[in-house]
Every structure is written in structure tokens, then in C-alpha cells.
Chain A
Amino acid sequence: MSRQGGRSADPRKVSQELFTLTYGSLVSQLVKDYESDEEVNKQLDKMGYNIGIRLVEDFLARSGERRCNDFRETADIIAKSGFKMFLGITPTVANWSAAGDEFSLIFDNNPLTDFVELPEEHSQLNYSNILCGVIRGALETVQMDVNVRFVQDLLKGDNQTELKVKFIKRLEDAVPAGEE
């Protein structure tokens, strides 16, 4: 928890633990409310999406970032600037596909899962699935359609947590009515 030292200066920041535990109770409530892990994953993704489309405005306003010219720049900004600002971590960008349209974010430390152990009966649960939705929602707002999914998860016994982000297409500006 050494991180917190420098944070108390900004009144808008809350303790990492409060956030982690709140997220934990959200997930456990969803597990109670829905029968399958699949459905919980879906709900988490949906919530993340709704957060992402708003969070991105906050991010742009505070960071002053401009539009990215390519997907590599996008990856860098997500990892070094976005995750840093909101979760205080910097995941590694790796595993670029040959076409440059897919990369992985590798986390050696995921603040969402600080106090979590995944019970065996929830082997399908992507505990941090909300992150997929947040990234998708945020990028959609800056006109990038992407697919985000977990391919490895420390909670499931993998060596690291790995999130794959795949670029699908560029969304175009809305054309005004009556113009083609």
C-alpha cells in the first residue's frame, strides 16, 4: 500500500482498498443474482462499457490526449496513461500480431483482485471482466471498435493476467442528415 502516500493530496482519490472491496461486493452480488458465470461476465462487461463511455471523457479532459494516429499509440496511452491514472498500475504491452491489429496487456499486479481467491465452482468467471467493458466503451467513444477478452488470469492459476485487445474497425463520424 505504499502507493497511497502520494495520493492523499488529491481529494478525488479514494483508498485503493475501498475500491477493491467495493468491486468485490459487486461481483459477489452478481454471482448471487445470476445462475451462470457466463451471465456474470456479461453483466460485468456491460457495466464496464457504461463506465468506459463516461470515463473516457474524464480521461481526455485530465490528460489532454489527442486523437491517436495508430493502434500502437492507442495501446501505449491505455497502458501508460489510462491504467496509471485510474488504477495506479502500468500493464505491459506485448504480443503484437503481425498485422498490428491486436496486442496484449499483461498485468503482474491487478488491484481489482488484491484479496480474491476464486472458488472452484466459478472456474468460468472472469473476475475482472469489467475492465474489458471499460476499454471497449472508452475506445468506442474515440471511434475505435475493438474486442477485448481475458486469455490468462492469475486467479485461474495462469502465470500472469493477460488481456487481449483486437482492433475491428474505425467508426466514422456521423454524417449530417441530408448529406451523403
Chain B
Amino acid sequence: MTIYNLYIFDRNGVCLFYQEWTREKHPGMSQEEEFKLMYGMIFSIKSFVSRMAPVDFKDGFSSFCTSSYKLHFHETASGLKFVMNTSLNVGSIHDELQHIYSAIFVEHVVRNPLSKLGQAIDSQLFKTKLDSYVRGLPFFTKVN
């Protein structure tokens, strides 16, 4: 089991944070373009999923799998979007993404008046806390 990378977007589509732990393959484009593409896809999937749904549902889009990786998605009521890629054998990580939001993001970004909302996060404390939380997750196994 592996965690590949994590994106955090705000409700305007700004990528607030990006980190990769294990990423074997890189897209042949600038990071800025990659963020736009990722946000665009998430946005489209959300509207696709809500339009195509044959029944009323609350949670909306939560994950998709390909043959080689799994993308997990979590959105807060305030429109923050957490996107994490892991290997296929990881189950639902809804609680973990919620924890990143409530115990790390809110605690070290929202409660820090010096960190401007709607801009990339440059708090070192946030980065350290997040990194150690992710590395401590049971399904984080770095493959060397």
C-alpha cells in the first residue's frame, strides 16, 4: 500500500497545497497546468456524477480507480477539496481526509491569521504536521 500524492484546492480552484511522497511517473507539463487539469477534472466529475445519478444521494463523488491507482476525493461544506492518490488496495480514506481538514488544515492554516486564505499555503508548521501525519498512516509504505 502506498500514498502517492495530495492536492488541496479551495472553492475557487486555487491549488492551496500539493505534496508528493511516491510518484513514479510525472506528467509532461508544468505544475500549474497540472493543477488546472486536476481541478477541471474534479469539477467535471462532480457535475457528471450528480447529473447521472439515478437516485438522490448525499455524498457525491468520493473516489475512482484505474488499473493502477485510486483517486480519493473529499469536499467540505465550505468547498475545500482534498484529493489523494493511493495504490489500489487502500479502502475508503474519508476519515483520514476529514482529519487532515479538521486537525491540520483548520488548526494550522485557518487559525493562523498570517496565512492568507485563497493562496498557496507556505506555513512550515502545516507542512511538517501534514507530512508526519501522512507518513504515520498505516497504509503509507514507501517503496524504494
List the interface of chain A (C-beta within 8 A of B). Answer: 53-54, 56-58, 60-62, 64-67, 141-143, 173-179
Contacts and interface: CB of A to CB of B under 8 A. Distances in A.
B77 A175 contact: no
Contact of A176 (B43, B98, B101): B43
Interface of A is mostly: loop
6 contacts: A56-B78, A142-B78, A143-B79, A173-B11, A174-B13, A177-B40
Interface of B: 11-13, 36, 39-40, 43-44, 58, 76-80, 98, 101-103, 105-106, 110-111, 117
B112 to A, nearest CB: 10
Contacts of A54: 110-111, 117
Given A53-B117, A141-B78, A61 B106 contact: yes
Contacts of A56: 78
B111 to A, nearest CB: 7
A54 B13 CA distance: 18
Nearest to B78: A141
B144 to A, nearest CB: 35
A66 B77 contact: yes
A64 B40 CA distance: 27
B43 A142 contact: no
Contacts of A67: 77
